[in-house]
Amino acid sequence: MVQFDEFGPEKILEVHDHKTGMHGFVVIDNTTLGPAKGGIRMTPSVTIDEVAKLARTMTWKNSVAGLPFGGGKAGIIADDRKLTKEQKLGIIGSFAKAIKAVCPKYYVAGPDMNTGEEEMKAFVEGNGNFRSATGKPANLCEYPGERCGIPHEFGSTGFGVFHSIMVACKFAKIKPGGASVAIEGFGNVGTFAMKHLTEKGFKVVGVSDSGGCIYNPEGLDYSRLMEVKQREGTVAKYQPGEVLPSGKVFELPVDILVPAAIPNSINEGNIDNVKARLIAEAANIPMTPEIEQKLHEKGVLVIPDFVANAGGVISSYAEYRGKNPQDMFYLVEKKIVRNTRKILRHARKAGVKPRDAAMEMAIARVRKAMAKKAAKPAAAAPAAETKPENQEPV
């Protein structure tokens, strides 16, 4: 059941179209800082409760990142593996039309599980507003040469994870040159995180995907690993190296661990075997708060997911404002570095885990903006270019 509190959700819409078979919903959690921002996930089992929790996470993620966005999320109940490309895009377009009343004034869509740049193209076409979604194809422009899409395939999330690790290494007393790294997941986030880490002198010794884990203490070659993944469909076919079960990636003797795939991957079953001194949560919710607390007590520095993987939503903001990819990467680096450093400093000074420090910052920003908004004589809809508290000019 969806939980309501002082922050939201403000609106929940459930829509259905018999012709296309579309059945979906959007949860607008909080729009105090700006229109709610969050992606659309498409799975057979997605629920309003699941989407509401993710929308709340986006409220905090956007607040911590200092973006003029509130938190939102959408879900469409469908199995994309059983749909043709045309059927899938038709469902996305139908969904966009159905929620036109709130999008983009109150909600701005984006890619999430099983949706990507082509789905975002179909969404803006169905909605009729170019700014109703981000993560669109790079060749899709509102006007020739202006306000073009910035797809997540450019690697903004992995780029942000890399910069978050660079900052955190100073706090964990880890020297980047030669520091060993293990990465769970070799999708969009894991591949770009490895690319940037290896270019900076880190030694990635272990990488996993659903087909297994490849481990070589001497290090893995990024370009060859990418070739193997594309050719064979799994990193486990890479050589030289030892092939292990996928879950063993969390137990490798490394300095830095990057969970970049599934939720709750670090749990009671493997926490005692985690050897890393620094963990960057590239995936959403790779561990529960209880597991995170236990690692904190063991002296492991954990960068929370909504801090480490905020590069994607920062990229979305750059696209929303009509910036180009170069501007986007500059903004991701600037905000990730600043926010990670600020949160880790506060956590160290207060003697709390980084997630607590980040949450304190996020809640304070939203509450301050809510109080300021409540003091105004007339409530207004969230403005497209609203600047939240502590937001720096772009």
Indicate which residues carry an active-site annotation. 73
φ/ψ of 353, rounded to 5, equals -75, 155
DSSP code of 281?
Answer: -
Q: How many CB atoms lie within 10 A of CB 113?
A: 14
How many Å apart are CA 364 and CA 278, to the nearest integer? 27
Contact yes or no for 187/236 (Cβ under 8 A): no
CA-to-CA dists, residue 236 to 180, 196, 253, 311, 328, angstroms: 19, 21, 18, 28, 33
Residue 182 phi, psi dihedral angles, 5° rounding: -125, 135
Q: Which residues contact 206 (CB under 8 A, 6 or more apart)?
A: 181, 182, 183, 213, 214, 215, 216, 220, 249, 252, 254
How far is the first Cα of the chain from the last one, in angstroms, to the nearest whole number? 39
The DSSP output letter for 155 is: -
What is the rounded CA–CA span in Å between residue 124 and residue 320? 13
The whole-angstrom separation of Cα 264 and Cα 286 is 4
b (16+ CB within 10 A) / e for 167-187: bbbebbebebeebbbbbbbbe
